[in-house]
Amino acid sequence: MKSMSEFYKMKNEYLKRHGGLEKVDTSSMDEYGRYHKEYFAADGSMLYEVNGPVWMDVEFTADVHGCPIRKVEKCKFFQTEAWTSTDARSEYYIEKW
């Protein structure tokens, strides 16, 4: 997964490549904390993003005086899924909640 700073860079480059931003539509947040945005570029292309919380198992490993300690914990992250009208493959971007 990629970082949110990579998403912002990709979004800015995409919109610049397609003539700039014309309009943004943002949905209401649903009961699960998810919402989506549609960015309309000047040439008619679109960038879509779906945002919301996700829970993931995170594994921590530490070596304490030669004794490995492993812990798995559920952590909440903010995830953005993005795709465009010119490339329908989803990319995922994530950061700590």
Question: pLDDT band for position 92 (50/70/90)?
Answer: very high
Encode pLDDT of 32-69 as tens digits: 999 999 999 999 999 999 999 999 999 989 999 999 99
Residue 68: what are its φ and ψ, rounded to 5°? -70, 135
Interior/surface letters 49-71, b for 16+ CB within 10 angstroms, e for the rest: bbbbeeeeeeeeeeeeeeeeeee
Q: How many CB atoms lie within 10 A of CB 47?
A: 22
> Which residue type, as a one-letter code, is found at position 76?
K
Q: How many domains does the chain have?
A: 1
pTM for this structure?
Answer: 0.81
Q: Which residue has the tokens 């008619």?
A: 44
Segments forming the whole domain that contains residue 82 = 2-96
